[in-house]
Chains A and B, each alone.
Chain A
Amino acid sequence: MNNRIKNFLTTNEMIVVYIIIGLAILIGSVNPAFNSISTVVNLSRTMLVTLIFAMCEMIVIVSGGIDVSFPAIACLAMIATGNIMLKNHIDSVPVAFIMGALIGASLGTLNAVLIAIVKMPSLIATLGVSSMTSGATLAIFGAKIITNLPGKLDKLYKVSLFSYTNADGITYSLTILILIPILICLLGWLLLKFTMFGRGIHAVGGDIRAARIAGFNVKGILFFVYILSGTMAGIAGVTYMILMRAADPSVLMGSEMMVIAAVVMGGTRITGGHGTVIGTILGVTLIALVKNNLIMLGVPAHFQTFVVGLIMIIGTSITSLKAKHVANSVKV
């Protein structure tokens, strides 16, 4: 039993928890303003879209692949939805999300075909799709940013779960959009842990040949994973648009590095088969914490990319070395 507690305390998740706690104490001691509700509100705002991305990336990596096309897909979903709704005078929140999801799903299908049927390496396939998507997005819709979103989408931004006014009279409100990533995490957890399909995703990531022998529909599983990833990217794009009250055709490009780093830091093995929802949430939290508070720690803005890069390389090294250690350790 002692052993179990020890094992629990040294899991990847717990290590990330320690780092987060340590960082929080450090930031809090340098800048007492950190210790307030506003930090939580700001943090959840930063995490919101990243978490949706991270969830789809985690599921893809568990299945043994990688997806770098989600920022492009999200951008297309965002700008296309915004444009179509404005042009046709549609003003409905569900329509926006459904449209975003459909756009994402169709590009996800393209990824799936390339990876499951043409058997392309997933990095190259999704890189190609990413290039096509972002090129098409800019060629069709131009580089113009839309800021006059339909009224109902704009209104949704102002709906909050709760608001809090601090002593200085500044109000912080937690947007209702946070429910989207929470729901996705919950559903993702149920899917991965308690459905045969979710276990199938693990099985494919663990040993694709054995999965075939065991009778899993490997192609079906891969299709599902990439379509799911595309759909979620589409939803993330629409969410981002509402959150930022603008649709920008290239704003999310380049965020894939950060998302992959967050996922790997959360204990997901880049080689596939291992990954948890909790770990992913923690990884995203860590990255968001760093991104939001470097300035509080006195790190100049132009140092941020470097610091994040450093954390990425250390974090991924630790998790990769840990996986290697498991592979070499004494077996029972």
Chain B
Amino acid sequence: MTETFLELKDIYKSFGGVQALKGVDLTIRSGEIHCLAGENGSGKSTLIKVISGAHDPSQGEIYIEGSKVSRFSPIQAIEHGIQVIYQDFAIFPNLTVAENIAMNRAVSTGAKIMDWNCAKKLALEAMEQIGARMDPDILVENLSVANRQMVAICRTIINDAKLLILDEPTAALTSKEVQKLYTILRCLRDKKIAVMIVDHKLGEVFEIADRLTILRNGEKISTGLIQEYDRKRFVKDLTGRDISESTYIPSTSDDEVFRVENLSRKGAFENISFTIKKGDVLGITGLLDSGRGQIGDALFGIHPAQSGEIFLHGKPIKIRSTTDAVKNRIAYVPEDRLTQGLFLDRSIQDNTIAASIKKYFIRGRLDERIMFKETQEWIKKIGCVAPSPDPAIRTLSGGNAQKIVIAKWLNTKPALLILNGPTVGVDIGAKYDIHRMLHQLAEQGIGIIVISDDLPELIQNCNSIIIMKNGRIAGTVESSTINETELAEMLSSQ
């Protein structure tokens, strides 16, 4: 029997009247990999911040190794051996690997002199412990994301971590890198370190977790050994709904909307060909390094393809820049909403009209009144919860903001709409709205491409799915003939 490292009892936390956590219990034992799963807005990040001492719970008790702690601060959390690796790793790109690994320890011991030899020795020891191999003298800015993560893990190891928390550690890793990370995590578990990962991808959770806790709307829904769960229960606890097996079946048509032939860009993708007919919703999936996102970037002219042909409604078009793409009525909802999709400080109206400003230049001036009116109409049409077009878009939730990003493009009357990760960080209700909207648009004759790693989303919403591997198309499947497990297997097979 393993011993309990951390125990949370009946934790409540509210922010200005909003209850983020409502009586959550959590037990983490030394030498286990505990998975914390939950959709966006379920309270995962708040819970992590409570554990790391960044937030004081409004109510509830925290026990570490059996003794109760009160007035928990980040420094205390570190002293107790609790280390969190956030998604951006909080490392220094301009410093060497060895320095990054040794830095926190040196700061906490109050050292005055930078001991390069000692730092290198520590770094090599830590890397050996987890089986990572990097040149300790190299600058971190030259490392890949996976290796940066290794640096972050090494740093926690030399700080004598007893509980290591990783926030969505696989989000930016390739499949090989994920496997390597898992090997390391298992190795840490065998050293009696408690590991908690935050994840909601079904396949990954079942592969790595020993125990599982599921949060929904700030409440703990269930917790238990991974063996007690099956796919169905996991999804049900996570979303509160049963798995729906329905898929999107378009009314068949032979009108070709969009066709791509032998599209290639060196280092990103090769020989990509596909056709979208009226009513089609095409899914493109693959692992992170498969080139799925790069296709979207290329079709919108961010990083244009170097060779290959593109046809819109049968006519050949050239896309060498974003200007070309917009001219040909291609729309792109990018992957990173906060930095690529939104002008956070600007009004909802500005965000809605950002891609179609020219339209409002009437008789020598921009007509703000029409902009306002049309924005109001869009808000109503897409079911966005917003009081008026005036407030800054940062006041909206993820789902509502994403709807505005889509409206921004619908306002350009696109011929082709490409969505890269359309429902990342979007709550269930808005997700459903967005999916329904996509089907309607497809029926109206707009070509739709959904690039995603959310397999259920693809199966339910696309009629055919392209699977990418190493920059090439590894296969195309009709979504009505496949289920999630089979698709996941196709993805991970070599």
Q: Is A331's beta carbon under 8 Å from chain B?
A: yes
List B133-178 residues whose CB lies under 8 Å from chain A.
134, 138, 141-145, 147
Stretch touching chain B among A107-115, A196-204, A309-317:
A196-204
A215 CA to B104 CA, complexed, in Å: 7
Q: If A199-B103, A215-B108 touch, does A210 touch B92 (CB 8 Å cutoff)?
A: yes
Complex Cα spacing A273 to B108, Å: 22
Closest-by-CB residue of A relative to B89 is A210
In the complex, what distance in Å separates the CA atom of A206 from the CA atom of B140? 11
Do B142 and A331 touch (CB < 8 A)?
yes
**Nearest CB of chain B from residue A88's CB, rounded to whole Å:** 39
Question: Is there contact, CB below 8 Å, between B112 and A210?
Answer: no
* Interface: B235 (CB within 8 A): no
A279 to B113, CA, bound (A): 23
Q: Which residue of A lies closest to B146 (CB)?
A: A331
B18 at the interface (CB under 8 A from A): no
Chain B interface residue count: which class?
20 to 34
B 106-147 contacts with A by CB, 8 A: 106-108, 111-114, 116, 134, 138, 141-145, 147
A to B contact number (C-beta, < 8 Å): 70
Q: How far is the CB of A158 from chain B (nearest CB, A)?
A: 40
Q: Is A327 an interface residue (CB 8 A)?
A: yes
Given A202-B95, A326-B141, are A215 and B107 neighbors across the interface (CB < 8 Å)?
yes
Could you say which residues of chain A place their CB within 8 Å of the CB of B116? 194
* Contact status B113-A210, CB under 8 Å: no
8 Å CB interface, A184-212 against B: 193-200, 202-203, 205-207, 209-211
A196 near B111 with CB under 8 A, answer yes
For residue B383, CB closer than 8 A to chain A, the reply is no
Tell yes or no: B490 within 8 A of A by CB: no
Contact of A194 among B91, B108, B114 (CB under 8 A): B114
User: Secondary structure at chain A's binding surface: helix, strand, loop or mixed?
Assistant: helix
Pair A196/B106 contact, Cβ less than 8 Å: yes
By the criterion CB–CB under 8 Å, are B90 and A214 in contact? yes
Query: Which chain A residues (4-54) contact chain B, with CB distance < 8 Å?
Result: none
Closest CB in chain A relative to B91 CB, distance in Å = 6
CB-defined contacts of A207 to chain B, threshold 8 Å: 90-93
Q: In this complex, what residue of B is CB-closest to A326?
A: B141
**In the bound complex, how far is the Cα of B111 from the Cα of A215, in angstroms?**
12
Are A202 and B94 interface neighbours, CB within 8 A? Answer: yes
In the assembled complex, the Cα of A331 lies from the Cα of B172 at a distance in Å of 14
- CB of A329 within 8 Å of the partner chain: yes
- Report if A213 contacts B (CB, 8 A): yes
CA distance A216 to B111 in the complex (A): 12
Residue on B nearest A214 in the bound complex, by CB: B104
Chain B positions within 8 Å of A203 at CB level: 92, 95, 103
CB atoms of A214 and B107 under 8 A apart: yes
Interface residues of B in 76-107 (CB under 8 A from A): 90-95, 99, 103-104, 106-107
- Docked-complex contact B92 and A331, CB < 8 angstroms: no
Instruction: List CB contacts (< 8 Å) of A210-237 with chain B.
Output: 210-211, 213-216
A211 to B94, CA, bound (A): 12
Contacts of A329 in B (CB 8 A): 142
10 A-B pairs within 8 Å (CB atoms) are namely A194-B114, A195-B112, A199-B95, A203-B95, A206-B92, A206-B95, A216-B107, A326-B141, A326-B142, A327-B141
| Given contact pairs A195-B113, A203-B95, A273-B94, a sample of 19 additional A-B residue pairs in the complex whose CB atoms are under 8 Å apart | A195-B112, A196-B106, A196-B111, A196-B114, A199-B95, A206-B95, A207-B90, A209-B90, A210-B90, A210-B91, A211-B92, A214-B90, A214-B103, A215-B104, A272-B94, A326-B142, A327-B141, A331-B147, A332-B142
**Interface residues, chain A, CB within 8 Å of chain B?**
193-200, 202-203, 205-207, 209-211, 213-216, 272-274, 326-327, 329, 331-332
State the 6 A-B residue pairs at the shortest beta-carbon distance, nearest first.
A273-B94, A206-B94, A331-B144, A206-B92, A210-B90, A215-B107
